[in-house]
Amino acid sequence: MVKLNLTRVNMKKMKVTVQVEKQPGEKNFTCVVLEDTPGFLLTGYGASAKEAIEDMYVVEQEMREIAEERGEEMPELEFTFKFDIGSFFNYYSCVNISGIAKRAGLNASLMRKYAAGITSPKEKRKKQLEECLHDLGKELNAAVIG
């Protein structure tokens, strides 16, 4: 049985980061809240990044119900998702790996290896890819279809 030890201090909203990833050699995806949470652990598991995130939301609701049954309170959680490259392209399947690689100035074959978990990018490459995605997001946000 799960024992929750939740306090009523700062129960308004808690910002947490969820790491979504595909482990090398694994077919399934996992997600886990990176911060220490008061008396509970949120994780998710699934055949896709989306399924893992949905599973984590189910676990969150179950933990909330357990807390309520015990007369305890669980904070409202505000999620920020942090994806590895493979889980990013799995979750955002409408985004083309080759197109993003070209836009970021990266080798498409190498990007596919990153996405498959065959090799891992260094921090410099991660930042380069992240900047490319943020720039694309800004452009898409400003786009108008007439």
Q: b/e per residue, 92-113, with b = 16+ CB within 10 A?
A: eeeeebeebbeebebeeeebbb
| Main-chain dihedrals φ then ψ at residue 84, nearest 5 degrees | -80, 170
Contact between 22 and 28 (Cβ < 8 Å): yes
Q: Considering only 5-14, 23-32, 58-67, 114-123, which range has the smallest mean pLDDT?
A: 5-14
Tens-digit pLDDT profile for residues 13-61: 889 999 999 877 788 999 999 998 877 889 999 999 999 999 999 999 9
Short-list 29, 36, 77, 76, CA closest to 53: 29
End-to-end CA distance of the chain: 57
- The confidence score (pLDDT) of residue 18 equals 96
- pLDDT tens per residue across span 76-90: 999 999 999 999 999
Going by pLDDT thresholds of 50, 70 and 90, the confidence category of residue 11 is low
